[in-house]
Structures are given as C-alpha cells and as structure tokens.
Amino acid sequence: MRIVLLGPPGAGKGTQARRLSERYGLPVIGTGDIFRDHAARGTALGLAAKEYMDRGDYVPDHIAVNMVLERLDQPDTREGFILDGFPRTVAQAQALEGALAAGGRPLSAVLNFKIGDEVAVKRLTGRLVCPNCKRVYNLNFKRPRVEGICDVCGHRLEARSDDDEATIRRRLLVYRKETQPLVLYFWERGLLRDIDAEAPEEVVADRTIEALSDLLDLEA
Ligand SMILES: [Zn+2]
C-alpha cells in the first residue's frame, strides 16, 4: 500500500501517519525528517534544502525529488510506504509517479486532510514536539502530563522553532497556493479522497480508514 498524505501544517497529518504506520506496518517517510537527516550529515542536498526551510519556503523540486527517491529505494519500503509532506507540487508528483511506475509500484491512495486557517493557527501556536517518538503536544489544549516531558517516552519536549504566528500564516499561504493544483491533479486521476480534519484525532482516524477502504476496497 503506497499512500500520500496531503494537508496544511496543523492538519494532524503526522499523527494520522503514525496511526496508519502502526496499523499497516508501513514506514512513514516525511520530507522534514529526510531533510533534517541530510542537513545533519552535511550533504550538499541537505545544506541547500536547509537554506529554503529556514526562510519558511519550500525546497525546490529537484532537491526534494532526489532526496525522496533515494529514500524510496531503501528495502523497508518494499511492502509500501506513507509519504507525509511530499509531493508538494504537480512537478514533484509527476516525477514521483514516473519513478514508481518504472518500478511497477504505482500509488494506491492520496488522502487530503482539510482544515481552515484559523484552526491551523490555533493548533500550531504553542506546539511542542517530542524529538524522540514524534508525538505532538499543545500548550493550549493537549498538554503533557508533566510539563515539558513526553507522556509516552519521557523525552524532553521541544518547541518547533518555526511556529510563530506570522511564519505559520505564511506557510499556510504558500501551502494553499502550491498544493491546490496538486489536489486537482490527484483527484482527476481517481486517487484522492478529502478528509475533514477539524474533528478530534480519533474521529479523523476513523474517517481516514473509511477513505482508504473506499479507495482500496479493503475491509475497514
Ligand atoms: Zn516521546
């Protein structure tokens, strides 16, 4: 099962990706993680990508595509994968689909998580992330039991450095502009389902399974 997750920052994509990963035993491939890995190793691709990310811009297609395709060559993606945050543009989608078609493993489903800008801003300000297990907390409405400590693994939580309101609004604007054509592209190919993601996590999880079942004719 090869799944792409779309949705603006704050839509809960990361959370739903983790749940799908546990349910189906597939790796979650996030471009953020790939970029950070390259940046930490100081690769040329990583350094180039970091410059764009630090400005709140998206990484240019050729850099992102090369990093993701390299990752999709790893053996853990043989049974499938969950792509979170890629593709961002129609050009990236075409490059991805071309490479996957060449390998005889086309995409199975594209899930589009939808939320309004005000909900996104509310969710993203005050966000804390566990760098170890990737769980997300929020000082406004999903506080950890012990201040600054992950409930699940006990690691110290970190604030996302790019999550001030002006940056968030800019990222949302860039997101809408860039991904609207992408949503249409996948929709026209019969691969896409919209998911209303303003509901609580559990409800969105049920909607996600329903949408997948609908696209793949699976038992829910
Ligand atoms: Zn944790």
pLDDT tens sequence across 90-110: 999 999 999 999 989 999 999
Annotation says 127 is catalytic? yes
Annotation says 13 is catalytic? yes
Q: What pLDDT is attached to residue 220?
A: 45
Q: What pLDDT is attached to residue 32?
A: 79
- List CB-based neighbours of ion ligand 1 within 5 Å: 130, 132-133, 150, 152-153, 155
Q: What pLDDT is attached to residue 88?
A: 85
Burial 101-120 (b: 16+ CB within 10 A, else e): eeeeeebebbbbbebeeeeb
Annotation says 176 is catalytic? no
Q: What pLDDT is attached to residue 111?
A: 97
Task: Name the active-site residue from 2, 19, 71, 88.
Answer: 88
Q: What pLDDT is attached to residue 162?
A: 62
Give the residue ranges of the chain where pLDDT is below 70.
Answer: 161-163, 218-220
Annotation says 88 is catalytic? yes
- What is the spatial distance between Cα 101 and Cα 136, in angstroms, rounded to a whole number? 34
Distance 183 CA to ligand 1 centre (A): 32
Please report, for the chain, the start and end positions of each structural domain, with discontinuous segments joined by +.
2-116+165-216, 126-162
Annotation says 160 is catalytic? yes
Task: Name the active-site residue from 18, 50, 105, 160.
Answer: 160
Task: Name the active-site residue from 2, 19, 123, 127.
Answer: 127
pTM of the model: 0.81
Q: Which residue has the tokens 């829910």?
A: 220
User: Which homologous superfamily is 2-116+165-216 in?
Assistant: P-loop containing nucleotide triphosphate hydrolases (3.40.50.300)
DSSP 91-126: HHHHHHHHHHHHTT----EEEEEE--HHHHHHHHTT
pLDDT digits over 174-206, tens only?
Answer: 889 988 999 999 999 999 999 999 998 999 999
